[in-house]
Each structure stands twice: as C-alpha cells, then as structure tokens.
Amino acid sequence: MTADPVPSVLALGPVLPVVVLGETRPAEAVPLVRALVAGGLRAVEITLRTEGAVEAVRRVAAEVPRAVVGAGTVLTPEQAVAARAAGARFLVSPGWTDRLLAAARDTGVPLLPGVSTASEVMALLERGVAEMKFFPARAAGGPAYLRALASPLPGARFCPTGGIGPDSAADYLALPNVPCVGGSWMLPPDAVRTRDWDRVEHLAREAARLGAAAVAETVADTGGGAEGRTGSGTGTGTGGGTGGGDVSAGGPCR
Ligand SMILES: O=C[C@H](O)COP(=O)(O)O
Ligand SMILES: CC(=O)C(=O)O
C-alpha cells in the first residue's frame, strides 16, 4: 500500500537529510535510510540524480515504513510522475517551472520548489505556493539573505539547502521564516561508500538533537508563538489534509 502524500513538507521536521546516492546501489538506500530513521530523522529526500534513484525511493517506501520518503532534484513532469508511482510522499526541486508545478499538482504530491531571488518568491506566492526551498543556500546569501526576505515577503517559508552543516544549521533555524533546513552533512560520502551505518546513525542523531534544540530555543525566544513558522499548507499540494497523523518526523517542526 502506498502511503499518502504529506500535507506540508516544511512541517516534516527541523532537519531534512538529502541523499545523493552516487555509486550507491538502490538496495543500499534501505539500510542508509534505516540508519537515518534510527538516529531520529524520519523524513528523507532521495535525489533523482542517479539512474537507480527512483528504484531507491521505491525500495525505501516499501521496506522502511517508518520513513517519510520524498524525491529530490525533480526537474521534469515525468520525474514527478515516476517518483509518485515509486511511493514518494513529497517532491523537491532546485528550481521550478509552471510545467513542473502543474505536473506536481496533478500527481497530488506536494512539491517544494527551489528559489534564490525575491522575484522567484513573488512569482510562487502569486501562484499560491508559500513553501519553498532556498537553494543553494550558502552560495545564494545564507542566513543574512533569508533574514532580509522575512519582512518584505512575510508569506513565504523556506527550507534552505546547500552548504549547510552542523556549524550553520542553527543560524538558519533561528529565523522566523525557516522551519527546517536540508543537507547531506550526516551522510559523509566515505561513510556511505563503506556502509558505515553506525556512523550515519550517530550523525543523524546529532543532527536531530541540533534541530530539536534550535526549535526549543526559538520557541522560548518567541514566547511559544512559533506556529506561524510552519508551512502554510498552501504548497503545490494535494488539495488538503491527506496523509494525516504520522507526518511529524523527528519531532514537531515550527
Ligand atoms: O540539495 C542540495 C544538496 O545536494 C544538499 O546540499 P549539501 O550537500 O551542500 O548539504
Ligand atoms: C537541490 C536539489 O537538487 C533538490 O534538493 O531537489
């Protein structure tokens, strides 16, 4: 049985691991994702950058029911359809086109489209999309850039990704328009290559702790009024509310 799409990508949890399989075979995505889940990161984006990536999504969806698996680097309508068929519960793209937005809507799976300029944010808001990926986060301006967008573009919420690590994740998560961050820092290529799943689990646990601590700190700073930081539910989503209860991956997102 294929699990339902999630209602909001940004509500999945404060840290979204981004998996780039490289030479790793699709079957090995299963122990890899199990290690992430064991460490406390249940929502996982598998990028469609390698030949076996759709198959990896399919295996994880079928064999790791505790994971909430999505597909990243979705560039075309065809990939959106294939990812949905494989069991992806959300889609992520480094950018967006109107064709891709329409295709994602047709699949019923929410798409987190990528932006890196104010005009792109405005164009998405105009199309009713409020949840976005900020990519490539560090190269495009980092936390200072996103902080500068918060006041003029209060309707947008971001998952910055690209160049983020344990040293910078909390700086992003402290921003009012950032409920979660994405990254691959808990998946060092050498650990994946040598199938060192214990190390991946350990790094995932540290990342989950870091995310939870950043959330707790921000909630304390805002007097508990952090609800506005979560996704607004106006993504390119499913027409509302599918997927229900098990969305919170590794603790509540703001
Ligand atoms: O989505 C983009 C990346 O593959 C993840 O970025 P990163 O490897 O710099 O963390
Ligand atoms: C950046 C990218 O490829 C993605 O996460 O979709």
CB distance 93 to ligand 2 below 6 Å: yes
The confidence band for 246, taking pLDDT boundaries of 50, 70 and 90, is very low
CA of 133, nearest ligand number: 2
pLDDT at 235: 45
Average pLDDT, integer, range 34-48: 98
What's the domain range around 53?
15-224
> pLDDT digits over 158-215, tens only?
999 999 999 999 999 999 999 999 999 999 999 999 999 999 999 999 999 999 999 8
CATH number of the domain within which 85 lies: 3.20.20.70
Any domain includes 238: no
Cis amide bond preceding 188, omega within 30: no
pLDDT at 229: 54
pLDDT at 219: 72
Q: Distances from the Cα of 9 to the Cαs of 45, 127, 238, in angstroms?
A: 10, 17, 12
Give 139 Cα–ligand 1 centroid separation in angstroms.
11
> pLDDT digits over 92-129, tens only?
999 999 999 999 999 999 999 999 999 999 999 999 99
Q: Is the pLDDT of residue 243 over 50?
A: no
Any domain includes 241: no
Integer Cα distance of 36 and 208 in angstroms: 10
Any domain includes 119: yes
CB distance 184 to ligand 1 below 6 Å: yes
Give 2 Cα–ligand 2 centroid separation in angstroms.
23
- Please name the residue ranges forming H helices in the chain: 29-39, 53-63, 77-86, 98-107, 118-126, 137-140, 142-150, 169-173, 189-193, 197-221
Integer Cα distance of 189 and 206 in angstroms: 17
Any domain includes 93: yes
Any domain includes 55: yes
The confidence band for 254, taking pLDDT boundaries of 50, 70 and 90, is very low
> In this predicted complex, what is the ipTM?
0.94
Integer Cα distance of 119 and 227 in angstroms: 26
| Burial of 196 (C-beta count, 10 Å sphere; 0-12/13-18/19+) | middle
Residue type, 157: R
Any domain includes 235: no
Number of domains in the chain: 1
> pLDDT digits over 72-96, tens only?
999 999 999 999 999 999 999 999 9
Which ligand 2 atom sits closest to the C-alpha of 74? 6
> pLDDT digits over 221-242, tens only?
766 544 445 544 444 443 333 2
Q: Distances from the Cα of 146 to the Cαs of 29, 71, 78, 182, in angstroms?
A: 32, 24, 31, 15
Average pLDDT, integer, range 48-69: 96
Note the pTM of the prediction, 2 decimals.
0.88
CB distance 116 to ligand 2 below 6 Å: no
Mean pLDDT of the chain: 89
Give 233 Cα–ligand 1 centroid separation in angstroms.
24
Any domain includes 127: yes
Any domain includes 3: no
pLDDT at 133: 98
pLDDT at 248: 37
Tell the residue nearest (CA) to atom 2 of ligand 1: 162
CB distance 47 to ligand 2 below 6 Å: yes
pLDDT at 220: 75
